[in-house]
Amino acid sequence: MERYISQLNEAQRAPVLQKDGPMIVIAGAGSGKTRVLTMRIAYLMAQGVDAFNILALTFTNKAAREMKKRIADIVGNSEAKNLWMGTFHSIFAKILRFEADKLGYPSNFTIYDSQDSIRLIGSIIKEMQLDKDVYKPKQVLSRISTYKNSLITVKAYYNNPELQEADAMSKKPRLGEIYEQYVERCFKSGAMDFDDLLLRTNELLNRFPDVLMKYQDRFRYILVDEYQDTNHSQYLIVRALSDRFQNICVVGDDAQSIYAFRGANINNILNFQKDYDNVQMYRLEQNYRSSRNIVEAANSIIDKNKTKLDKVVWTANEDGPKIKVHRSLTDGEEGRFVASTIFEEKMQQQLKNGSFAVLYRTNAQSRAIEDALRKRDIPYRIYGGLSFYQRKEIKDVLGYLRLVINPKDEEALVRVINYPARGIGGTTIEKLTVAANHYKRSIFEVMENIDRIDLRLNAGTKNKIQDFVTMIKSFQIINETQDAFYLAEHVTKKTGLIQELKKDATPEGIARIENIEELLNGIRDFIEGQKEVDGARGALSEFLEDVALATDMDKDTGDDDRVALMTIHLAKGLEFPHVFIVGMEEDLFPSAMSMNTRSELEEERRLFYVALTRAEHQAYLTYAQSRYRWGKLVDSEPSRFIEEITDSFLEYLTPVETNYRYKPMINNDIFGDVDKSKLRLNKPTNGIPPKWVTDNDPKPDSGIRRLKPMSSGSAPASSGPAMPDSKLAVGNVVMHERFGKGQVLNIEGAGPDKKAEIKFDVGGIKKLLLRFAKLDVI
Ligand code: ATP
Ligand code: MG
């Protein structure tokens, strides 16, 4: 153990050696927070703390696995196995299984993934005969999710006129009813969605003091990584569990808080000292991950944020190469640049594919990169996006398996009742659903009793329904005597799924069958793993739980050597020698959706900080002058984040034109006798070329940001666009790219902080920072 402790610096050692009491480690990226957490656990165990009494909460299951492996190296595998370590969701799903009956849930409850939830909400919206263009299922789910993560139950929602008003204002006056229905239907199906796993845990700990005592007593030492991204619901769980022994250690970095949009609350980190007595606060300042150029460039970015804790991050590492900036004409060319650079660097420096990561703001950007990598035969893996377990054919098989475990599971039932087709059509399913809602029973129970309920179904249909029930019950019997692999294989054959897929001889069809084989292999592996752990027969319900909570990241065994492609959000906590951050363009990164308030923009900046600090040795920033977005070719300008980095850390690979977007193709004859020094280009809108205007023209180019000249080599534009807000006045009618037409009600602040309060015809009153708001006066 001493050997390991000596591998820490002094600042890192302190929180490892402090055995008891509440403590918080706040430190910048790459300073060893995760390493401290790992060592702390090992050290606790070395001092005789029982692994069963330690709970460690991580951001991904993969992170938990890696941590466990490292701890096993130090204290031995047999002990490390007993640690409670995983994501909030996976740990509390396990606890809820034990305690489900107290909450009126079956212990075999299903976990709905977001696809299931969206589908259920979609059908509720349809049944309520609401307009699905107004009530978009995904949006509705996200709203409900926000409520749940703030512990606003349906009842609390109805007791809160403000929330109802806000929903009414956003044209969703019936959101409460959907919320209510959704909760009821999940409950009736014996299903919990992701947010329920936290909400119900809170309910459990609140309502049952003896249960709370039990888990407080079990988890005597609690550790949380990436604490800055915990939401309110998670925060309350941690607080309740740690209340008795107060042995709580959280580590995080406020500068890396990037999940506010999903309810993460940075105040959890800021208020930690108030929540516990005698909190020890530790700071780590030395970055071990990245070369000096990267560390300092990252510092220069995060400096621009106003809301932050003061932190020092320095490194003793070598300077390393500068951050390379590359401009291309199109996103296709950007992809080719990434691929050829990886190709060359691999050759020149003898690197593995796994040394490279390509990070992007949105999933849609991966396609162009993938195409280019494929053409160069460079193996890659995409993280995120549709996970393996969410593919249709896989969900179909899982649907049957879920029904075997929990026949009340409505989403699973609706999914497979008529797939492959067995003559139970939409109308029948509708009748069954209505009856189930009426009797407050599950659809399956209605089906079991189909002889006794008059649904005006003909005898043939009734038979088909009974056949289906019998089939599922026969699977249940098999499940009692055989293992999960046997059952799964049996199900794929008996239900006709495989035969159905075999009809499709296209490569896609064949791939689907291969996927199912892959799933069966996965089940077999799982069973083998279970046997190793505790000699138990592989339990299907445990496999299903694992699957429901699996993210793509978790499947990564790191065995094969591939370039990693993922969104920046997913890259949190990871590190790679070479990192490409692509799509460094205004409206993409920072995202167009996040430029209305300072706090949104600051979150985007933190996201950029996270991206850049993933790189150990070399970072690339690339942008394209135009790219396909939503099927259209859109012009773009370089991200402000590039400008925000101190110039001396950057190296431009392509000559930089200042304001290329507005660069005139000057034809001296066009202007006749107009004074050219007063000419500017107006703001080009998509597809329409920019036009020369003078100050006297009716449409000033308000909203065009002045771009700083990006390299000393190119001359600054002498007639750049005027400061955007100079002419805007109260009463002006303006056009905004996203909100449309509106009227200026008020103007406040000055210079770069100048804001306008604008009442938009659609969307109501908004306060916009004029520096970023793209406004045209009309
Ligand atoms: P992030 O904020 O990105 O999650 P972090 O603070 O959790 O970063 P770690 O991932 O724990 O940082 O550490 C970053 C890298 O530095 C890792 O490769 C780790 O092994 C290494 N490292 C940390 N501390 C030391 C040390 N004292 N000596 C050598 N290497 C170290
Ligand atoms: Mg970390």
- Quick check: is 624 in a domain? yes
Given the residues 289, 415, 614, 683, the one annotated as active site = 614
**What's the gap in Å between 75 CA and the centre of ligand 1?**
20
31 is in an annotated binding site: yes
pLDDT band at 35 (very low <50, low <70, confident <90, very high): very high
- Quick check: is 290 in a domain? no
pLDDT tops 70 at residue 570: yes
> Distance (Å, rounded) from C-alpha 36 to C-alpha 8?
8
Same structural domain, 612 and 515: no
Query: 534 in helix, strand or coil?
Result: helix
Cβ atoms of 471 and 400 within 8 Å: the answer is no
Task: State which of 59, 229, 258, 289 you would mutate to test the pocket of ligand 1, scoring each by most atoms of that ligand within 8 A of its C-beta.
Answer: 289
The bound ligand whose nearest atom lies closest to the alpha carbon of 616 is: 1
Cβ atoms of 545 and 402 within 8 Å: the answer is no
Q: Which residue has the higher pLDDT, 596 or 190?
A: 190
**What's the gap in Å between 289 CA and the centre of ligand 1?**
6
Same structural domain, 405 and 505: yes
Please state the rounded mean pLDDT for residues 129-154. 94
The domain boundary, picked from 145, 168, 189, lies at 189
Whether 467 is catalytic: no
Report the chain's terminal Cα–Cα distance, integer Å. Answer: 71
- At 706 the pLDDT is 34
Q: Is 576 exposed, middle or buried (0-12, 13-18, 19+ CB in 10 A)?
A: buried
According to DSSP, the β-strands at 632-635 and 615-629 are: antiparallel
32 is in an annotated binding site: yes
Same structural domain, 330 and 445: no
**β partners of residue 680:** 693
8 touches ligand 1 (CB under 6 Å) = yes
Same structural domain, 399 and 538: yes
- At 533 the pLDDT is 55
**β partners of residue 360:** 567
Any idea which of 213-222, 262-271, 276-285, 366-375 has the lowest mean pLDDT?
A: 262-271
- At 699 the pLDDT is 36
The complex's ipTM works out to 0.99
For residue 613, give the ligand 1 atom closest to its CA. Answer: 3
Mean pLDDT of the chain: 86
- Quick check: is 280 in a domain? yes
> Distance (Å, rounded) from C-alpha 409 to C-alpha 114?
15
pLDDT tops 60 at residue 716: no
The bound ligand whose nearest atom lies closest to the alpha carbon of 28 is: 1
Please state the rounded mean pLDDT for residues 444-460. 94
- Quick check: is 704 in a domain? no
Q: Which residue has the higher pLDDT, 508 or 123?
A: 123
pLDDT band at 552 (very low <50, low <70, confident <90, very high): low
Protein residues with C-beta less than 5 angstroms from the ion ligand 2:
33-34, 573
Count of domains in the chain? Answer: 5
Report pLDDT digits (tens) over 668-702. Answer: 333 333 343 443 434 434 444 333 333 343 333 33
Same structural domain, 433 and 516: yes
The bound ligand whose nearest atom lies closest to the alpha carbon of 288 is: 1
Any idea which of 84-98, 232-246, 507-521 has the lowest mean pLDDT?
A: 507-521
**What's the gap in Å between 271 CA and the centre of ligand 2?**
21
pLDDT tops 90 at residue 737: no
| Residues contacting 597, CB < 8 A, separation 6+ | 767, 769
Residue with CA closest to ligand 1 atom 15: 289
What is the sign, positive or negative, of the torsion defined by CA atoms of 137, 141, 142, 143? positive
Alpha-helical (H) ranges within 410-506 are 410-416, 426-439, 443-448, 459-481, 484-494, 497-502
Structural domain range at position 236 = 1-102+199-284
590: preceding bond cis by omega (within 30 degrees): yes
Look at phi and psi of residue 481 and say left if phi exceeds 0, alpha if psi is from -120 to 50, else beta.
alpha
- Percent helix, strand, coil in the chain, to 5, is 50, 15, 35
> Distance (Å, rounded) from C-alpha 297 to C-alpha 310?
16
288 touches ligand 1 (CB under 6 Å) = yes
The domain boundary, picked from 189, 218, 237, lies at 189
31 touches ligand 1 (CB under 6 Å) = yes
Whether 503 is catalytic: no
9 touches ligand 1 (CB under 6 Å) = yes
Report pLDDT digits (tens) over 365-414. Answer: 988 999 899 999 999 998 876 677 888 899 999 999 999 999 999 999 99
Given the residues 12, 87, 256, 428, the one annotated as active site = 256
- Quick check: is 456 in a domain? yes
Task: State pTM to two decimals.
Answer: 0.79
Same structural domain, 255 and 280: yes
Backbone angles phi, psi at 727, to 5 degrees: -100, -10
30 touches ligand 1 (CB under 6 Å) = yes
> Distance (Å, rounded) from C-alpha 606 to C-alpha 261?
13
Buried b (16+ CB within 10 A) or exposed e, 20-37: eebbbbbbbbbbbbbbbb
Beta strands in 568-631 (DSSP E): 576-581, 615-629
- At 709 the pLDDT is 36
- Quick check: is 294 in a domain? no
Report pLDDT digits (tens) over 284-335. Answer: 999 999 999 999 999 999 999 998 888 889 999 999 999 999 999 999 999 9
> Distance (Å, rounded) from C-alpha 444 to C-alpha 618?
57
Backbone angles phi, psi at 347, to 5 degrees: -65, -50
**What's the gap in Å between 350 CA and the centre of ligand 1?**
24
Q: Can you give the CATH number for the domain in which 127 is found?
A: 1.10.10
DSSP type of residue 768: E
Q: Which residue has the higher pLDDT, 86 or 775?
A: 86
Any idea which of 49-58, 451-460, 604-613, 751-760 has the lowest mean pLDDT?
A: 751-760
For residue 12, give the ligand 1 atom closest to its CA. Answer: 27
750 is in an annotated binding site: no
Any idea which of 87-96, 154-163, 646-655, 657-666 has the lowest mean pLDDT?
A: 657-666
Residue with CA closest to ligand 1 atom 26: 8
Distances (CA, A) of 120 to 123, 148, 186, 412, 451: 5, 17, 9, 11, 27
Q: Can you give the CATH number for the domain in which 275 is found?
A: 3.40.50.300
**What's the gap in Å between 33 CA and the centre of ligand 2?**
5
Same structural domain, 335 and 277: no
- At 557 the pLDDT is 62
Q: What string of DSSP letters covers 313-332?
A: -B--S---PPEEEEEEEEHH
33 touches ligand 1 (CB under 6 Å) = yes
Given the residues 113, 167, 195, 226, the one annotated as active site = 226
For residue 573, give the ligand 1 atom closest to its CA. Answer: 4
- At 767 the pLDDT is 77
The domain boundary, picked from 523, 554, 585, lies at 554
30 is in an annotated binding site: yes
616 touches ligand 1 (CB under 6 Å) = no
Same structural domain, 424 and 509: yes
Same structural domain, 634 and 571: yes
435 is in an annotated binding site: no
- Quick check: is 713 in a domain? no
> Distance (Å, rounded) from C-alpha 433 to C-alpha 443?
6
Q: What string of DSSP letters covers 617-645?
A: EEEEEEEEEEEEETTEEEE--B-HHHHHS
34 is in an annotated binding site: yes
Same structural domain, 527 and 427: yes
DSSP type of residue 264: B
- At 752 the pLDDT is 67
317 touches ligand 1 (CB under 6 Å) = no
28 is in an annotated binding site: yes
Please state the rounded mean pLDDT for residues 699-717. 36
Q: Percent of the chain at pLDDT above 90?
A: 65
What is the sign, positive or negative, of the torsion defined by CA atoms of 25, 28, 34, 40? negative
Same structural domain, 20 and 79: yes
Please state the rounded mean pLDDT for residues 420-445. 93
Same structural domain, 215 and 73: yes
DSSP type of residue 354: G
- Quick check: is 367 in a domain? yes
